[in-house]
Structure 1
């Protein structure tokens, strides 16, 4: 029965024009899963292992699904009796991370842009943010002279420098492209993994469970609620907490921007806003949370043991973390200094960071959250179906 399902998935891949042949990274995950499926010591650690037990073979679509279901907590590596230096050399976090990096590029839209994932590192992020900020500084200087960059005349109102419609014209097309590109990438990924995960449409209970797991970041608890093992083999909830600060800080900042748009177009209340207005409260709390979370993730990323992931992706990870931190820090600095002569420079720095973040979102680390959400939705749907090996539903 399992072989028939694998052949069906291979046929679906061919029909979609995707190669069935697996990459070396995907073959390594398939090899490791065969061994793990015989052991099953880690079955209660996270969603990967219950999903694994529903399979006897691991074709490309199944491997891509499992890799994006993995949260890279590292608990299975520390518990594994077959980890290096054992001759089986099982390292699930590293193998899964390598496949995840490949899936971001493989399912990217447009396809030719997939190579950007391999070049989207810390240097590019910094150069893009600084370059865009310098471009805006130059634009201000050409329009109002060098004095406009440090002036009481422009302080207090952003639109003295950049009219509202100009800002909308700059950021709206980029934002819409980001949403469309990520939607298309997720669609490509979904079409690949849906036949491999029961093929059933998502039900309301499955969607509710997946949403709960995403918002709580359930699978960063190490399986027993102790958290992820760190470089000293001690368990800690630091990664989960820093991810929470970062995620909810980002969402609060996004909510502040969205609410500001409603204030502007619906109520005719133009920015900037001040305390105790709701956009400012959301932005201030979100910015502080985002700074705290990204600073913590930066420290944890630099200290993490090399065996816990794919070292080739570290520049991309750090670039994304740095951009998020710089967006939050420059936004807080702009708020605190907007009534001073430094407002023009602070605004250029903040807008440059925001634009750089937008431009890199579809082809950077942000994709892991989108793909992981899709994988959790498919897992929540699959586990409600009869077990294909005759063990009932999960």
Structure 2
């Protein structure tokens, strides 16, 4: 973690916990310059949120960092951007603090630190290690290469064993994410200071704010850039491909989750057990989801590799690419398992696929997936806050 700018007993009675790190102090600096300029006020949610503040405390920097979608519009529009002596670079300043929030709010925190330092290595090592464990478990029973089993996965691993194993992994990932985002929300909550009028206004705003935040997330509104023409990736040209690849990835993930839910209903409600036909709902949903989780991550990886270094935090590359590669591995091994399920190698591919899926879920709370959860919370705060009285009277929505 970056060293605080001020020590424990800071001037003015500021506590050690309130002291800004170098990254947080940089957000405070550039936001004060932007607050005086206001050229980018209509670009995204960051700037209207900025106008409601005269100073930027630790919680404000965490909130604004997660509200930023790194579209790049403000960087290329800014007259004070590098090489100007003010060196205003909002996307990069936000990116450096945003990744810190994933680790600072992570639970258990040590896992977040490990994934931050070596995300790509952890992703491959964990998926490979878990796959090897599953392979050895199968080999000990002498069934690694076997006679065709008509796609019956449960002849290799009993259904109850798989349900228990992945149920525990999934619940751990959801618990870790929930603990992290609750800690984040408590810090940045619009009613954190307990002003009675603000609490009442926030209560009235809650339901419409939730509806608008869900709409913003589903549409990926702020990946449209400041003018709706898209993000700036390798240069100052606009492109909507980042939004499209995000949609492929999100829809692919949701379709795969839907396939699992439908298969669960088949098994427990209608007593229909796997393997399912290629024309069945679980297979169709899973296949469509797998296609989305190939197109989306490949596109995001391509954009990540060509992104302007001015917009990026190079320290995040390993974490970002680790998550993308895990998504690709899950999709590729899933399709391989589907195509080879009636062959003698089904058990081998089942072990490889199960290992990559477990690795993906175990790392969800600590890597790039977390940005969707924290960004959604920041959008909810923004949509609540803009419906509350602006006590500064300085503009914004």
TM-score (norm 1): 0.92
Q: Does 1:268 align with 2:263?
A: no
Counterparts of residues 74-153 of structure 1 (less than 5 Å): 74-144=72-142, 148-153=143-148
1:249-282: CA deviations, max 9, x gaps?
Answer: 0011011111211211111111222232221121
Number of the residue aligned with 1:363: 366
1-structure distance, mates of 2:81, 2:299: 28
Count of aligned pairs between the two proteins? 377
1-structure distance, mates of 2:369, 2:396: 32
Number of the residue aligned with 1:162: 157
Number of the residue aligned with 2:71: 73
Q: Does 1:216 align with 2:219?
A: yes
1:146-172: CA deviations, max 9, x gaps?
Answer: xx3232244511111111111112111
Counterparts of residues 307-346 of structure 1 (less than 5 Å): 307-346=310-349
2-structure distance, mates of 1:374, 1:314: 24
Q: Does 1:182 align with 2:180?
A: no
Name segments (4+ residues, structure 1) moved above 2 Å: 110-114, 148-155, 195-202, 390-393
| 1:385–1:393 contact (8 Å) kept in structure 2 | no
Structure 1 stretches of 5 or more lacking a match?
1-13
2-structure distance, mates of 1:110, 1:131: 21
| 2:277–2:283 contact (8 Å) kept in structure 1 | yes
Q: Which moved more, 1:118-127 or 1:193-202?
A: 193-202
Q: 1:196 to 1:18 in 2, by over 3 A?
A: farther
Question: 1:228 Cα deviation (Å)?
Answer: 0.7
Number of the residue aligned with 1:63: 61
Q: Does 1:295 align with 2:298?
A: yes
Q: Which moved more, 1:186-195 or 1:258-267?
A: 258-267
2-structure distance, mates of 1:88, 1:393: 24
Q: Does 1:376 align with 2:371?
A: no
Q: Which moved more, 1:113-122 or 1:94-103?
A: 113-122
| 2:51–2:394 contact (8 Å) kept in structure 1 | no
1:317-357: CA deviations, max 9, x gaps?
Answer: 00000001111111112111211222111111110110110
Q: 1:331 to 1:71 in 2, by over 3 A?
A: same
TM-score (norm 2): 0.91
| 2:260–2:282 contact (8 Å) kept in structure 1 | yes
SS at match of 1:56: coil
Number of the residue aligned with 1:9: none
2-structure distance, mates of 1:301, 1:376: 24
Question: 1:196 Cα deviation (Å)?
Answer: 6.7
Number of the residue aligned with 1:11: none
1:342-374: CA deviations, max 9, x gaps?
Answer: 211111111011011011111111110100000
Number of the residue aligned with 1:194: 189
Number of the residue aligned with 1:225: 228
Question: 1:308 Cα deviation (Å)?
Answer: 1.1
Number of the residue aligned with 2:354: 351
2-structure distance, mates of 1:37, 1:43: 9
1:17-59: CA deviations, max 9, x gaps?
Answer: 9811111000000000000011111111111011111111111
